Amino acid sequence: MMASIGEFDPLNTRVPATKIEVTVSCRSLLDVDTFSKSDPGMFFGRTEVIDNTRNPDFVRKFVLDFFFEEKQNLRFDVYNVDSRSCNISKHDFLGQTFCTLGEIIGSRGGRLEKTLSGDPGPHLGIPGKKCGIIILTAEELSNCRDIATMQLCANKLDKKDFFGKSDPFLVFYRSNEDGTFTICHKTEVIKNTLNPVWQPFTIPVRALCNGDYDRTVKVDVYDWDRDGSHDFIGEFTTSYRELSRGQNQFNVYEVRHESKGVVCCFSVHSSYEDLVTLNFTVAIDFTASNGNPSQPTSLHYMSPYQMNAYAMALKAVGEIIQDYDSDKLFPAYGFGAKLPPDGKISHAFPLNGDSDNSNCVGIEGVLEAYFQSLRTVQLYGPTNFAPVINKVANCAAEITDGSQYFVLLMITDGVISDMVQTKEAVVNAASLPMSIIIVGVGPAEFDAMEELDGDEVRVSSRGRLAERDIVQFVPFRDYIDRSGNQVLSMARLAKDVLAEIPDQVVSFMKSRGIEPRPALSSSPLAEVHQHM
């Protein structure tokens, strides 16, 4: 079973102040499989597929930007998935419903029930036929960015299988104000055992309790059955605050139902944001391929009416990441220019002109230094990345105890001239507390940049693989709002380029065996912990 969601008004022109998480469940879906129940799985996005059930509770959420002043129309389609095809038309349509985001939010308890009906489309269900119920739950997301890693095991669970033991798995729910529960995580199934040990998993604290450490978390224990009629073994309740106290020791919970058994939980509160200081560095491409800054066709053109692409990329990323840099002093460099007075080419010159102290005060200070450099240096070339990467890496190499992490933002318009040296610099930097964000501006082809972004294939140099994936590359043109809204373009860019930073920080910490801060103390509930 799979569900998909479509948003009818994609061209919003204001940056939203609120993000809403929508959870989807269905009840009494049509049974279109001859020998089994349906396999439901929703395009703004799609849920996961849940096998053999007419009453799915989907774990995967939809996070939508909420604009109070706009009508945001939504359509939910539910399908029975019979194959691995990504083409939605290959699956059996089960029903659809229409509503607005405001309708869900405004419902009692943020919970809206709608009837699914057939669509008169040529490949879809019976027009007007009632096809079951869809339940939509909305909740405003908090700013909590903590991440929790935990592992659970159980002992002496009830035997549910006639010819074996049990195939247990866990389902986590967070409580709602109206006494209902919202599903937030499922573990894997451990086959044929009454003493399972589940794999460790990582979950955002926002998903588990939306930042409220004392919010009730319910955990159900089930015995998995192939036909989807999973047997209920029992349940226990806890909270994130209680779970976090299990660091370096066991939390033990008795499973309540007809069965006997206990679940032991040992959890690690992976909140590195209180441990790490971010150091943000900027490097800007000053090569001649950008065009004469005095001409409107130049990527460096300083228009009195709007920011150029370099300034937008810098401001978009910098204004978010500066919140995690305690001193707000940012080293800022240019590369590929001839410098006065002798015309010497430099690939790592300070934008503020001070070779002894390249720091700029805040993002506005970086922008000011950037505009000043455009007036004083001569754009030239080539486009060499390695020198500035090595400069930041040298700083990162001096502090590898996990107390500081370095993020380098490079903004460029063209193909790298020193790819061999850059790959070597990236491989060396991958063992350091460092990440690199590369934003490509302008119309150039950036195929070579994909070599550095190790999402698919890890970067290598001279037979050495990078220890971690530390590079994120994006072309800015993919984020330009079609209506010309610069603020929205910047918001889209920042969201994507910063998305990998938290995992990269955690991957470095884990690779060095650096533990996160101790378990929660009795700090006030109103305290919000920001995470990269």
Kindly state the average pLDDT of the residues 96-106.
Answer: 88
pLDDT tier for residue 412 given thresholds of 50, 70 and 90? very high
Can you give the residue range of the structural domain that contains 92? 18-140
* 109 and 198 fall within a common domain: no
Is the confidence at residue 269, as pLDDT, over 50?
A: no
Is the confidence at residue 529, as pLDDT, over 50?
A: no
Domain count, the chain: 3
CATH number at residue 91: 2.60.40.150
Kindly state the average pLDDT of the residues 246-270.
Answer: 61
CA contacts within 13 A on the Cβ side of 204: 17
Is the confidence at residue 191, as pLDDT, over 60?
A: yes
For 349-404, how does the pLDDT look when each residue is reduced to its tens digit (9 = 90+)? 999 999 999 999 999 999 999 999 999 999 999 999 999 999 999 999 999 988 88
Is there a domain that residue 2 lies in? no
Mean pLDDT of the chain: 81
Kindly state the average pLDDT of the residues 426-435.
Answer: 96
* 86 and 168 fall within a common domain: no
Is there a domain that residue 6 lies in? no
* 104 and 182 fall within a common domain: no
The separation between the first and the last C-alpha atoms of the chain, rounded to the nearest angstrom, is 34
Q: Which residues of 414-449 are buried (b: 16+ CB within 10 A; e: fewer)?
A: bbbbbbebbbbbbbbbbbbbbbbbbbbbbebebeeb
Residues forming a β-bridge with 287: 380
Q: Hey, what are 185's tokens? A: 């995580």
Is the confidence at residue 33, as pLDDT, over 60?
A: no
Which range of 91-100, 315-324, 423-432, 440-449 scores highest in mean pLDDT? It is 423-432
Question: What's the whole-model pTM score?
Answer: 0.54
> Of 79, 111, 140, which residue constitutes the final position of a domain?
140
Please, are residues 422 and 451 in contact by the beta-carbon 8 Å criterion?
no
Cα 320 from Cα 315, distance rounded (Å): 8
- More confident of the two residues 502 and 296: 296
* 408 and 304 fall within a common domain: yes
pLDDT at 114: 93
Is there a domain that residue 13 lies in? no
Is there a domain that residue 447 lies in? yes
pLDDT at 69: 61
Is the confidence at residue 5, as pLDDT, over 70?
A: no
* 361 and 497 fall within a common domain: yes
For 480-528, how does the pLDDT look when each residue is reduced to its tens digit (9 = 90+)? 877 777 777 777 787 777 777 877 888 888 888 876 554 333 322 222 2
User: ∠ CA(102), CA(107), CA(108), 5° rounding?
Assistant: 150
Is the confidence at residue 204, as pLDDT, over 80?
A: yes
For 469-479, how does the pLDDT look when each residue is reduced to its tens digit (9 = 90+)? 999 888 888 88
Kindly state the average pLDDT of the residues 103-116.
Answer: 88
